[in-house]
Structures are given as C-alpha cells and as structure tokens.
Amino acid sequence: MSEGTEQKINKQAGKQSNSKVIKKLVLVVFAMFGFGFALVPLYDVFCDITGLNGKTNSVGVAYVNNGVDTSRTIKVQFITRTAKGIPWQFEPVINEINVHPGEMKFVNFYAKNKSQRAIIGQAVPSVSPGLAAGYFQKIECFCFTQQPLQAGEEVEMGLQFYVDRDLPAEITTLTLSYTLYDISGKASS
Amino acid sequence: MTTETINESLVDDHHGDSHDHKMTGITRWLYTTNHKDIGTLYLWFSFIMLLTGGALAMVIRAELFQPGLQIVEPDFFNQLTTVHGLIMVFGAIMPAFTGFANWMLPMMIGAPDMALPRMNNWSFWILPFAFAILIGSFFMESGAPNFGWTFYAPLSTTYSNGSTAFFVFAVHIMGISSIMGAINIVVTIMNLRAPGMTYMKMPLFVWTFFITAYLLIAVMPVLAGVVTMLLTDTYFGTSFFDAAGGGDPVMFQHIFWFFGHPEVYIMILPAFGIVSTIIPAFSRKKLFGYSSMVYATSSIALLSFIVWAHHMFTTGMPLFGELFFMYCTMLIAVPTGVKVFNWVATMWRGSMSFETPMLFSIAFVILFTIGGFSGLMLALTPVDFQYHDTYFVVAHFHYVLVTGSLFSIYAGAYFWLPKWTGHMYNESLAKWHFWCSLISVNLLFFPMHFLGLAGMPRRIPDYALQFADFNKWVSIGGFAFGLSQLIFLAVVIKCIRGGEKAPAKPWDGAEGLEWTVASPAPYHTFSTPPNLDEVKS
C-alpha cells in the first residue's frame, strides 16, 4: 500500500495521519521528561507548605513579639550527626531546652576540625515531627552559611530561634537534628 | 467467503509481493522490518534474559540455602539481587510483551504490519546493547550495580561502587527502546485497524496493549529523568538528592515511584489481555463483560498515577498522606476484582477443556489473585510498617510477576505457538512444564510469606537461624522452578523443528482475525484489509 492511499483511507475513517500522531506522542514524551525535573521545585514548594520531611526555613526570619504563651512549655531537643567522611567533632552545647511558645532562645553548637587540613562544613537541619517544622522559626543560624574551619580549629556556632504560638496543642516535644556535611569540593566561594 | 479462500488469497499476496523478499542468514534478522520477525526476536531475547536473570536467582537461592555466608560475598550478593531485578523487569517481562504485541497486534486488527516498521527494527536492536552494558559491568573492576533495582539515592550516588554510569546508560537505552515500541503500538492501533473495527470491537488483547503503551509513554521519560539526575549527582556535582547541597534523598523515592508504580501495571495489563483471550477460547464462551473489562483496565491505569507513595509509608509521611495513598491503593482492588470476576464468569458453565494455555491461564487467575491479596495487605499503612522490606514483599511481587505476568506469557506462547511455527507443540511435555512449574513456584514463593511475617529482611545474604527450614524449602523450590523452565525450551525447539501440522485454527473455541490466516502465518498477512463482516463466523 502506498503512502498516499494509506492516508486517504485514514482520512476517510476520520483518523489522523501517522506523522501527526507521532508528533503528539513525542511531545508527550518530552513533556513527561520535563515533568520529572519539574517535580524537583514542585516537591520543594510542597514541602514548604506542608512541612513534609521536617524542612525548616533556610533564611532567617524576623522575630515578631506577639507575647509569650507561658501556659505551655515545649521541650526542644538537639541532636547532631556528621556525614560519612567529615572528621569533625560536632555537638550541641546543651542537649535540650524548655521554651514557651513565642519566647526567643539562643543556644550554641560546638564544632572542631580534627583533621590536618582546612575543611568547609555545611549543617543541614531537620525538625521532627515533620508537621511541627513550619512552627520552628530560626532567626539566626549557623546553618544559613558555610563553616570553613582550619586544621585543628574549633568554634562555637549560634542558633537563635523561637517556637510559633500557633504550634498545634498536641505537640509537646520538638527535635532539631543537624547533619554536618563536608562540602569543601563543591563550596561556592 | 470461507476461511480457506482467505488463506489462499493471502498466500497469493505473498507471492505477488516481490519488493520485500525474505533475506537469508544473519542480515535477515539485522535488517528486518517485518513485525513477525521482530516479534520473534523480542520473544527469544526475553527468554534468554529470563534464563540469565534466573541463573542469578539460582546463585541467590544457593547462598540462602542455609544461614551464614557460603558462596558469595555480601557485596556480590547485592549485585546479584540488583541485576536479577533489572534483567527480569526490563529484559524478560517487558520485551516478552513487546514480542507478543509485534506478532499479534497487526494480525488481530487486520493490519499488514506495524505502522512504523523501521523504528520497530531500531527499538529491538538497541536492547541487546543495553543489556550488554548492564551485564558487562559484572566483569569490570567496579562490579555490577549493587544498590538494588530501585537504585535509591544516596546508595546509588554517594555510596555507589562506580557502576552508576553503566547502569544509567543501560536504563536510558532500555527506556528509549520501550518508548519507541510504545509509540509504534499506539500509532498501529489508532491508524491500521481494518475498516469496521471500531475501538469497542477490538479484541481485549489489543485494548490492554493500547493502554499499556500510553502508560509507557507517560512514565518511561520520568525514569529517564530520574536516572539523569542520578548521573549528574554522582559525576557532575549537582545536588538533586544530596542534602548537603540542598537536595533531598526522599525526593528520589517520590520521583522513582511515580515511574515505578505505573511500571508494575505495564507488566501486568498485557497479561490481563492474554488471559482474557485464552479463557474464552477454552471455555467456548464469549468473554464475560467485555466493556467492563475495558473500563476496568483504563481505571487501573489512571489510578496507578496516584498511589506511588504506598511504597514509602515508612519514610515519615504526614498522616493525611498515608491515608490518601492507602485508600487510593485499596481502590485499585475494585477494577482488579471486576476482572477476576469476569474471568470466573466466563468459565462459569462454559464447556471447558484444559489444554496447556488454559492451565496456565487458570493458574494465573488463582495465583495472581493471591498476589493481589498480599498487595492489599501491604496497602494497609499500619501493617505495612511490619511488612516493609521483608520477604513478605518479595513473596507479593513474585506472585504477581512470576505466577502473574510470566504465567500469562507462557499461556500466550502455548496458545499461539501453532500459529507461529505451523506445528502443534507436544501437549504432554507442555503439561509436564506446567505441573512442574506450578508445584515448584508455590514451594518457592509461598513460604516467603511466612518468612516475611516472621521478620526476615529482604536483600540480606544471611539470616537468623529460625528461618533456616523455610529457606531450605524455598531454595529447593527455586532450583526446581529454574530447571522446569528448560522443559519449555525443549517444547519450543521441538515445536519449531516439527510436530503435528497445525490447522489455521487449532483451537475450536478461539476467535479473532489471527486464526483466519494459515499456520504458520505467512510472512505477509492482510496486505489488503480483511472485511470484518465476512470473516465473523
């Protein structure tokens, strides 16, 4: 069957030509390839809205004093871990602190580069339970910036935060976890 | 017009068709654009891959025969489980279905060939290269991929053994092959149906491949995207899945399973099509509830896009997310149940006979339903926390993929072997294949349920002593099942070489255009479209 007759038959049957269908399908293929990548920013937006995965703010917020809710006490726990391959000592100075919602607190974390070379570290925070992440507000945090430490250098790094007054009533304990990564290779100067 | 005169006119067409004569030797297979040749290539390729992936599984079962480490190192064990999964999914099941599509779709809709024959050749011939890269990585310094067929980041990025690039390129090629195959199927079905064959008159087999092809076009590009991110994360310093750079490893699982869940329906919907063809033929009744089957298949395909996170209940989702994905997943049981009831209703009061294709189909209905029920158990969020990553999951997906997809492929192979080869297969040898497979496959996979419920984790080369007895039985079942598949090889080779001459329609209850052409099917069929009104008996 020649190309011409085939197209004629297709037209009679109300069908589209092969090339038209192929073009549409290839377009879908590229669109779905793009959709895979679009999921990356979409996922971030989704996490920001829902607090999924315990993501907290990565830029400092201004402290708004709406009064302190002294009727509630929230226990905030701090845990740290170092990722594979970074020879730092990294730990909270105090392991937990009690705060009232709306009250601003300041705590320190201790880090020491135990290796013989300069290393740039980056701490990544995560709050558990995830739904509380949106209510944990960091005003100032060492995790907003990179931490370059010379060989053997030690430092105390500050975290200033408050817990939002709108924190759901059933949540009484928050855990803030920091994981420290070696980003010397890919740090932006 | 009777069937025989149609056959003669088709044979005549073949002789008159001088522009495309069969080449001989290897070039016939390399350059072929004939849908039957390409279908044959796909089917042989997938069977070789089945034996290859099966051989890896034999080593896995030998290692797990008793507790402790005997045969392989844990790292090599991980490579075995990873490549076994990849080969079986992308090398055995999917190409086998593409082989069926190539062989049968044009003949079922009365088309002379697939719509895009040159692309068809290309989409098959890049596949062997993909698997050469994947399997070849076993012989490289880095070793084969060892991060599981689901290649979760950061296992496959930060902690990769160096095989990630080979893995990614192999998956890219497989994806391109699948996408081209799927586009071909869609265009063929849309444009080459014989006059008078409306969508709702298509055989259900054609419908299931039509829907599967759309699923492939929708999700294979997402797989290509996620492996590309993996590649750049590992080698080019991006941080899609690296928390240190602002990425998120859990996001990998979301993107992967957005592909991964429709993928499991890509591997089962064509099985539904095959079984829906065979059960009516051997029950000598029409398929019960044809249109409900079409709608059920479509709704399974649509639902498959909104259930992916049921693979990730233990990643710490909010309660709402867990409930949403749990209910959506359980909803899929409804259209699937419609299908199972329709198959049973088709058999109900039919004058049934039990040739090998029917035996495999009935085993499919029963055993796939068992796999479906364990899937329903896994869908329940609270209990999934117990079952997650245990042998219960292994039992579940082997019931749906081996006794589901693979059994349907065997059923289809026996059903159409007379049409493909022109000879009847040896029925008693085939029955041996069936009964050996049926008994051994249940010995192989059923105790895995108990192992999983008792807490044996998957993907670990060693286990606690209390699991020893069940594992021994599972391994014996595994070896027996592996050996049983060699019977199938013997049946097929015997059938190609000779045997009782097959008539155009060897099954008296079978329906469809493919039975109106001679056996073996002439190299060119339906060069002029058949007239449906005259063909229908």
Name the band, by pLDDT with cuts 50, 70 and 90, for residue A8: low
Do A25 and B217 make contact, defined as CB atoms within 8 angstroms? yes
pLDDT of B284-296, one tens digit each?
999 999 999 999 9
From the centroid of its chain, how far is CA B500?
30
* Residue B64 near residue B463, CB atoms below 8 Å: yes
* pLDDT at position B49: 97
Which has the closest alpha carbon to B19: B529, B524, B526? B524
Which pLDDT belongs to residue A130?
A: 78
Give me Rg for the CA atoms of chain A: 26
Q: Terminal CA-to-CA distance of chain B, rounded, Å? A: 10
Out of A133-142, B54-63, B130-139, B247-256, least confident range:
A133-142
Interface of A with B in 12-71 (CB under 8 A): 13, 15-18, 21-22, 25-26, 28-37, 39-40, 43, 47, 50-55, 58
Please give the pLDDT value at position B261. 96
Q: In this complex, is the C-beta atom of B237 within 8 Å of any C-beta atom belonging to chain A? A: yes
Average pLDDT taken over every residue of chain A = 84
Residue of B156, B163, B212, B336 marked active site: B336
Query: Catalytic residue at B257?
Result: no
Q: Is residue A43 part of a domain?
A: yes
The amino acid sitting at B103 is W
Q: Name the active-site residue from B32, B137, B156, B178.
A: B178
A67 part of a folded domain? no
Gap between the Cα atoms of B397 and A167, Å rounded = 42
Question: Are residues A125 and A163 part of one domain?
Answer: yes
> For this structure, is B339 an active site residue?
yes
User: Where do runs of H (alpha helix) occur along B241-289?
Assistant: 249-266, 269-283
- Report if residue A69 sits inside a domain: no
Q: Which residues of chain B does A33 touch, with a Cβ-Cβ cutoff of 8 Å?
A: 221-222, 224-225
Nearest chain A Cα distance for residue B162, angstroms: 17
Calculate mean pLDDT across residues A30-49.
88
Q: Are residues A169 and A80 in the same domain?
A: yes
Residues of A in contact with B222 (CB under 8 A): 32-33, 35-36
Encode pLDDT of B343-353 as tens digits: 999 999 999 99
**H or E, element range at A160:** strand A154-163
Report chain A residues whose CB lies below 8 A from the CB of B20.
none
* Co-location of A140 and A176 in the same domain: yes
In a domain, A19, yes or no: yes
Residue where one domain finishes, among candidates A34, A50, A66? A50
Task: Using CA coordinates, name the residue in chain B closest to A188.
Answer: B245
Spatial distance between the Cα atoms of B505 and B430, rounded to a whole number of angstroms? 19
Is-catalytic flag, B254?
Answer: no
User: Residue B225 carries which side chain, given as an amino acid letter?
Assistant: G
Instruction: Check which CATH number belongs to the domain holding A91 and give it.
Output: 2.60.370.10
Cβ–Cβ gap B318/A28 under 8 Å: no
Has residue B4 got a pLDDT over 90? no
- Asked if residue A56 is part of any domain, the answer here is no
Alpha-carbon dihedral B311, B162, A123, B237, rounded to 10 degrees: -100
pLDDT at A134: 81
| Domain shared by A5 and A78, yes or no | no
Are A95 and A9 part of one and the same domain?
A: no
- Residues A126 and A36 placed together within one structural domain of the fold: no
Q: How far is A185 from chain B (nearest CA, A)?
A: 9
Please check whether residues A100 and A164 belong to one and the same domain: yes
Task: Please report the pLDDT score of residue B14 as a whole number.
Answer: 42
Between A32, A40, A58, which is nearest B221 by CB? Answer: A32
Interface test with B, best of A25, A177, A188 (most B CBs within 10 A): A25
When the pLDDT of each residue in chain B is averaged and rounded to a whole number, the result is 92
Residue A17 lies in a domain: yes
Q: Is the pLDDT of residue B355 over 90?
A: yes
Task: Write down the pTM of the prediction.
Answer: 0.88
How high is the pLDDT of residue B479?
97
B305 or A83: which leads in pLDDT: B305
Residue A162: give the domain boundaries: 74-182
Q: Could you tell me if A116 and A162 lie in one domain?
A: yes
Same domain for A107 and A44, yes or no, is no
Based on the domain organization, do A41 and A119 belong to the same domain? no
Q: How many separate domains does chain A show?
A: 2
B221 and A1 within 8 Å at the Cβ level: the answer is: no
Q: Please compute, for residue B390, the number of CA atoms within 13 A of its CA located in the half-sphere on the CB side.
A: 21
The residue in chain A having the minimum alpha-carbon distance to the alpha carbon of residue B114 is A18
The string of pLDDT tens digits covering residues B357-388 is 999 999 999 999 999 999 999 999 999 999 99
